[in-house]
Structure 1
Amino acid sequence: MRKCKVFVGNSHPELGQLICAKLGVEPAPCTLKKFSNGETSVQIGVSVRDEDVYVIQSGSGDINDHIMELLILVSACRGGSAKKITAVIPQFPYSKQSKMKKHRGAITARMLANLLIMAGADHIISMDLHASQMQGFFSKPVDNLYGAPSLAKWIRENVDDYKNAVVVSKNPGGTKRVTALADSLKINFAMIHTDRRRTADVLAQKKKEAKQRRQSAVRRRSSNKRSDTLDEDEVENIILSNGLQTARIVKGHVVDDDYIAEAVVEEDDESEDGEIPHDQTSYALGGTYDADDSDADDEPAALSQEKLITLVGNVKERSVIILDDMIDRPGSFIAAAEHCRLNCGAKKVYVVATHGLFIDDCLQELNNSQYIDQVVVTNTYPLTEEKKTCPKLVTIDIAPILAECIRRDHYGESISVLFDSLSTL
């Protein structure tokens, strides 16, 4: 690739080296260091005048330092008279803050987009943005690549009887992503919904309705002078006739109907007279539920509350593929896996995502869960050597997709084929 330079930042040097190897080029020399006072210093060691420049920098554990490193590196290339500067950001930082969820909040993802453009970026390449509307934050072109083709290829090659598997969304906000993967695999999909506003009362009503349906079926069989007992398959068909399976979640785990949860009241949540205030997460006048609220399902405050989990769909005797764009905390994935295995009759559960952030001991908890068979992610986010040795973890290399995107962009070719298949890689 002539008239082209590829710079690799410190956030994920392993991925940068893989991309350069696929392109058949060496990373352009640059010095990235810090002064004693903590300031970031960048020095480019090669001329970039009138050349296409690609800066590879993903999200990482030291996210703020590496964002500054990316901005300074882009600005240095602009000062060096580069013809075009493309920021390659496989895992876009602050992507969860793409909307104002609370009053007096900040849309941080838009602020970061403005910083990149002001630093001098002419083009952005990323993968599986948390919210597709983030592309509108930029005044320059954005290519949002998809990890789904790589994930679909792995599923076809490694999931037993994948044609009968079911792709499951762990919250309503991910249904669009799930249906896209299900369509590419030509398999069924389902959705899980967790609700803190409805708990044991709703569950008891569901059980009562199911019991009434079973009794009605018994009476019908008796009136036809047949046996008044139902076999297991018939009972299951009656229970699943409405396509809903409901259970309780207490402290992040699925529990039996008879489980008595201890009252958890935070000191700050009590009013002056000692009464427990109304749930502040409820919506006045029954307003519409915002699917993006599911981002906070794994927060400690949310885990302390009892919730109702509902699966819309049928996964009995099938493999379940729980799909999301990122895995940062384990709570909602473990609860979804437990519900699918314990209450819905799933055969196996695979947790699949593009970005494996694995905050704190997230990966260890997923690995310790007996209801999760494998955790599958791509290498958009750097993992420590300890995490790479996790028995259940599978990492898919997406360097070929990013390298092909860079090559096609440099030569002015279409990249639409990267959205559909891996046949050209």
Structure 2
Amino acid sequence: MVRNIVVLGGNSHPQLTENVCHILGVPASNRILGKFSGGESRCEIKDSVRGKDVYIIQSGSGNVNDNLIDLCIMISACKTGSAKRVTAVVPLFPYSRQPDWPYNKAGAPLSQISGASKDYTFESVPPTPRPGGPKSAGLPNGVNNLTEKLSKTAEAANGHYLRKPRSPPENSTSSQRNAYTTHDYENQSNISVFQPKPGYKQWIAQAGTLVADLLTCAGADHIITMDLHDPQYQGFFDIPVDNLYGKALLQNYIQSNIQGHQNAVIVSPDAGGAKRATLIADSLKTDFALIHKERRPIRFTEHRNASMMLVGDVSNRICILVDDIVDTGNTITRAAKLLKKEGATKVYALVTHGVFSGDSIARINASSIDKMLVTNSVPQEEHRRLCPKLEVLDISPVTIKVSVSHSRQTPLFAIDLSLNKSHTTLSSILTSTFDFSPETIAMAPLTPHWQQPSHPDIQEVVVVNAQEFTTKSISRVSLPPFAVYAKFDFPPCTPASEPTYATVQTGRDTHLSLNSDLLYINHSCEPTLLFDVGNLNILVGPKGLNVDDELTFFYPSTEWHMAQPFDCLCGTRSCRGRISGARDMTQAQLDGMWLNGHIIQLRAEQATRSEDPTANALRDAVLHAEKVLESARLALRSYTSNAHAQNGIANFPSKYTNGILGKAAGLEHRGPTSRELSGEMGGDTVCA
């Protein structure tokens, strides 16, 4: 069955959106995405998304925060527009590198405060208050306070009067409690003395959970991302998340582009990527090496440069570094330097996400890396220009394959995400799923709800490929040019509120569901049939019709706008190439083709709108006035007719009906109505 999909692109990666739409053969949906003068995001979806599968492509690159908010707003706009399902395609997921637990590494965003103790650790935990336990500065120990009060009460009961208590020593618990607390707004100058003490962790915001909640609350039904830095991040969502692994892409590149890869060593630049690298090494049956890196010392110090140690033998061998993301480039360039120092002959770096922040490009150019491969999960045009070592893989086919599997509800593990398949195979998958080929653009399901065949005497539906739903219609009769081949009868035809793959446009804003085998008539630039929707007739084309001729018609002759344009493959001498609605085609493409009245009128209006805004406004006012005048004519005619019928004689002088006023009102000679001009009542379609 045909899938109604809409592809929306954010501002983060227009090229990826264009690549995806090109492979699918659909245009990116029209939207307005910008900023108001105050800096707030603005989003407006110009095309209808009602009842459709919407895919929003937005990567976590560039202005990450702006792009994230834009994504949420686009998702919300689509859900407000009654989209059937909204899928966020986020190749590089924002904030996925920030863990959801207290940061326990030396790289935590902790600003050192002058005078702070340098001997606390990040592994310490606050002690449980208990009798005799240590007192924490600034926080009273309730158990000890209660013990002190009870002992004083006992002393008073025994007749022992306490001496005047001495002032509590500085920094004692009671002194801190009586003097001020961290919430004492009258002693702001004293708050600074509360420094991190032994026993208390440093905490950061739970950004990972927050972003997951934002997308879910915005209305996303499904997330497609690639190589999450922390795979467990999928568990933060209450909706399905497909985490695509770049293993197949990188593995295919190694096999196709690296000579001598059978004797190469797959290297992980840190322990976190060891599993990723071992999977590739096992698939290629090559050796594996690991660079052990100690980022965090036991104690918090000013200088914490991580030491690196190689585990494995790389002497006189090609080394292939595999990682999920390169940001500053420090880790991967230091790893390459170590490999060359240990005797590696050549160093390749294969990374899924190339963020390249700061001076990372200059660092890579000056490094020991011989070739670096990244994907276009983020824009790479500028990086490619600045770095001759850089090569980019396109992830568009992978993204589309997963989108296809999601629409077909195919398990993700059953989809081959590698790119060693030809585009022909991929196209066949897309065609069978989304139905974008020109031969099947007007197709219905092969098991329709109407009785088949619906026109057995004149039409035969031939199934070309059942798996891809490819069909064509063959004529069983011979007719001369412009003869009536069939009619749009009611039933089976029914009016439709909006255009679908199963409708034809009959007027400016009216559509007709065919509900018959007429739906299987395909497109051609030299059609054998003419759909005269104004008169509800299907006419034979100017060349006549013979038995066994394929039944075709020219789609733009009825359709003003098509959500899914396609490249025509009719192979005729007059082929118009890219086929879309008449609104989006050039005049040269439409010249010589038979068009319905509503298409002719809409094209004329389209041509005049671009001339002069003032003239356009006046022209619209004239059209409105003509409609009002037409309504007045009909009302006057109806009123006078009723008056004649009731009184038996004319209550008005003849001049009011057939005289001067009658001529002024257009009763004597009435021109064509707007409905006739639009083709809804025939209009100039009668010329066929």
Identify whether the pair has TM-score above 0.5, normalized to the shorter chain: yes
1:197 shift after superposition: 7.4
Query: Are the structure 2 counterparts of residues 39 and 197 from structure 1 closer, same or farther at C-alpha, using a change threshold of 3 Å?
Result: closer
1:194 shift after superposition: 2.1
Within a 5 Å distance, the mapping from 1:114-129 to structure 2 comes to 114-129=213-228
The answer to whether structure 1 residue 279 and structure 2 residue 299 are counterparts is yes
Partner of 2:61: 60
Q: Which amino acid aligns with 2:231?
A: S
Q: Which runs of 5+ in 2 are unaligned?
A: 105-201, 427-688
Matched position secondary structure for 1:173: helix
1:408 shift after superposition: 2.3
1:307 shift after superposition: 4.2
Matched position secondary structure for 1:27: coil
Supply the distance in 1 between the matched residues of 2:295 and 2:70 (Cα, whole angstroms).
Answer: 41
| 8 Å Cα contact 2:296/2:304 also seen in 1 | no
Q: Number of matched residues?
A: 323
Partner of 1:77: 78
Partner of 1:325: 324
| 8 Å Cα contact 2:384/2:391 also seen in 1 | no
Partner of 1:19: 20
The answer to whether structure 1 residue 130 and structure 2 residue 129 are counterparts is no
Deviations 1:224-276 (A, max 9, x none): xxxxxxxxxxxxxxxxxxxxxxxxxxxxxxxxxxxxxxxxxxxxxxxxxxxxx
Matched position secondary structure for 1:180: helix
Supply the distance in 2 between the matched residues of 1:357 and 1:114 (Cα, whole angstroms).
Answer: 25
Query: Are the structure 2 counterparts of residues 392 and 175 from structure 1 closer, same or farther at C-alpha, using a change threshold of 3 Å?
Result: same
The answer to whether structure 1 residue 379 and structure 2 residue 376 are counterparts is yes
Within a 5 Å distance, the mapping from 1:298-337 to structure 2 comes to 305-337=304-336
Partner of 1:347: 345
Query: Are the structure 2 counterparts of residues 141 and 386 from structure 1 closer, same or farther at C-alpha, using a change threshold of 3 Å?
Result: closer
Deviations 1:71-109 (A, max 9, x none): 000000111111111100010011110333153212212
| 8 Å Cα contact 2:380/2:392 also seen in 1 | no
Partner of 1:409: 406
Supply the distance in 2 between the matched residues of 1:386 and 1:180 (Cα, whole angstroms).
Answer: 29
Q: Which amino acid aligns with 2:232?
A: Q
Partner of 2:239: 140
TM-score (norm: length of structure 2)? 0.45
The answer to whether structure 1 residue 181 and structure 2 residue 272 are counterparts is no
TM-score (norm: length of structure 1)? 0.73
Query: Are the structure 2 counterparts of residues 389 and 309 from structure 1 closer, same or farther at C-alpha, using a change threshold of 3 Å?
Result: closer
1:390 shift after superposition: 1.7
Which piece of structure 1 moves more, 415-424 or 51-60? Answer: 415-424
Which piece of structure 1 moves more, 351-360 or 90-99? Answer: 90-99
Partner of 1:219: none
Matched position secondary structure for 1:109: helix
Deviations 1:136-176 (A, max 9, x none): 01101111111111111111111120011111111111111
Within a 5 Å distance, the mapping from 1:195-344 to structure 2 comes to 195=294, 279-280=299-300, 305-342=304-341, 344=342
| 8 Å Cα contact 2:54/2:78 also seen in 1 | yes
Supply the distance in 2 between the matched residues of 1:379 and 1:146 (Cα, whole angstroms).
Answer: 14
Q: Which amino acid aligns with 1:333?
A: I
Supply the distance in 2 between the matched residues of 1:380 and 1:63 (Cα, whole angstroms).
Answer: 14
Deviations 1:317-349 (A, max 9, x none): 11111111001012111211111111x211111
1:16 shift after superposition: 0.8
Partner of 2:92: 91
Query: Are the structure 2 counterparts of residues 184 and 364 from structure 1 closer, same or farther at C-alpha, using a change threshold of 3 Å?
Result: same
| 8 Å Cα contact 1:85/1:120 also seen in 2 | yes
Supply the distance in 1 between the matched residues of 2:349 and 2:284 (Cα, whole angstroms).
Answer: 16
Supply the distance in 2 between the matched residues of 1:182 and 1:418 (Cα, whole angstroms).
Answer: 21
Matched position secondary structure for 1:377: strand
The answer to whether structure 1 residue 4 and structure 2 residue 1 are counterparts is no
The answer to whether structure 1 residue 400 and structure 2 residue 397 are counterparts is yes
Matched position secondary structure for 2:89: strand
Matched position secondary structure for 1:88: strand
Supply the distance in 2 between the matched residues of 1:189 and 1:175 (Cα, whole angstroms).
Answer: 9
Partner of 1:191: 290
1:122 shift after superposition: 0.5
Matched position secondary structure for 1:406: helix
Which piece of structure 1 moves more, 75-84 or 92-101? Answer: 92-101
1:401 shift after superposition: 0.3
Query: Are the structure 2 counterparts of residues 401 and 119 from structure 1 closer, same or farther at C-alpha, using a change threshold of 3 Å?
Result: same
| 8 Å Cα contact 1:122/1:140 also seen in 2 | yes
Deviations 1:275-317 (A, max 9, x none): xxx8317xxxxxxxxxxxxxxxxxxx7xx64543211111111
| 8 Å Cα contact 2:252/2:418 also seen in 1 | no
1:121 shift after superposition: 0.3
